Amino acid sequence: MPLLSKHTILGVLRRFAILLLVVWTVVSLVTILIELVPGDPAVAVLGEQATPEQFEQFRQKHGLDRPPFFFSFPRRPDGARHFQWHGPDNRYTEYWQGIFRGDMGLSFRTDRPVVGLILERYPATIELAVVALLIAVVIAIPLGVVAGKNRGTWIDNAASVVALVGISLPSFVIGPMLVYLFAVKLGWLAPSGRFEWSDIILPAFTLGAALSAILTRMVRSSVIEELGEDYVRTARAKGLSETTVVYKHVLKNGLIPVVTILGLQLGVLLAGAIITEKIFGWPGLGLLLVEDGIAKRDYRVVQGCVLVISMTYIVANTLTDMIYRWLDPRIRLS
């Protein structure tokens, strides 16, 4: 019997094709929106005092002298627009040809490869996302289990209040509060930067706080639902301790919907928590996208960051699906 059936192979290929279509669609939409933004990148980079020769040299170097897409609708001398076909000699085609070669182009401002800029910043975002996720899990699972086991008691109410506060307070509120308390008042931690291991505590907790609140409510709901299942009564009838029942049986089954949220949230965190990185000056992908890309009209940086972000979501969702199948054998059987 073959290891992979024809149906399984076709399913994998179909899913891979859909993922590629998603990446292409996202990057294409961003490219179109970038081209629709008024203004000239050459003027934004060189300034209005540059000579016409400098403008022309800049446009030729970065391919801005070519049309953006396969066709355009330029104006005639009388002001009316007309259709004009440009063929494959356009910036859009050139960009994707470079992607297949592993080349995202050069930054307009620094003349450095965009791939190098992203590789410099992405480890900081991965570091921040992983630590924030660990903080959220460490807080949410015990709190959610305790709240679910003690449904309707003051413990459950207190956990619900904590979760509600965490969901209600956005990162741009929690972040400055933590900076004021632990950096300004107490002086325990640095307010910004990434120089020592302790610098990650405040931004990671800012990201993890809201996520832990969401996970706490989900873990609580899952535990309450699983405690009413027949297998729980059977386990108790066998004489198993309540701790064994909850943490060995209930928690594993209750984590199935939580894993889905974790996978999606990991994609969000890895994509770059822009606000948090901005507050704490954390040199990650989000800060690169906003400060060096959007704010300075560096289109190649924006395109590269969006491409990496979309790929991040794909990888995160794929890993989530694999873990989901491991936790629930019924999915594998189906």
Question: For the chain, which residues score pLDDT lower than 50?
Answer: 1-2, 333-334
The answer to the question of residue 123 being in a domain is: yes
pLDDT for the residue 327: 60
Summarize pLDDT for 116-147 with one digit per residue, the tens: 999 999 888 888 888 998 998 888 888 888 88
Residues 170 and 261 in one domain: yes
Tokens of 174: 């929690």
Tokens of 74: 């330029």
pLDDT for the residue 1: 41
Residues 121 and 95 in one domain: no
The residue out of 77, 100, 123 marking a domain boundary is 100
pLDDT for the residue 324: 66
Rounded to the nearest 5°, which phi and psi values hold at 71?
Answer: -145, 165
Residues 91 and 122 in one domain: no
Tokens of 291: 């400060």
Residues 130 and 260 in one domain: yes
The answer to the question of residue 109 being in a domain is: no
How far apart, in Å, are the Cα atoms of 11 and each of 6, 16, 70, 319?
9, 9, 33, 16
Give the residue numbers spanning the domain of 152.
Answer: 114-333
Domain count, the chain: 2
Say how far residue 156 (Cα) sits from the centre of its chain: 31
Global pTM reads 0.78
How does 195-215 read in b/e, with b if 16+ C-beta sit within 10 Å?
A: eeeebbbbbbbbbbbbbbbbb
The residue out of 68, 100, 132 marking a domain boundary is 100
Summarize pLDDT for 167-185 with one digit per residue, the tens: 777 777 888 888 888 888 8
Greatest CA separation for the chain: 90
The answer to the question of residue 259 being in a domain is: yes
The answer to the question of residue 106 being in a domain is: no
The answer to the question of residue 11 being in a domain is: no
The residue out of 100, 124, 139 marking a domain boundary is 100
pLDDT for the residue 116: 92
Tokens of 243: 């701790």
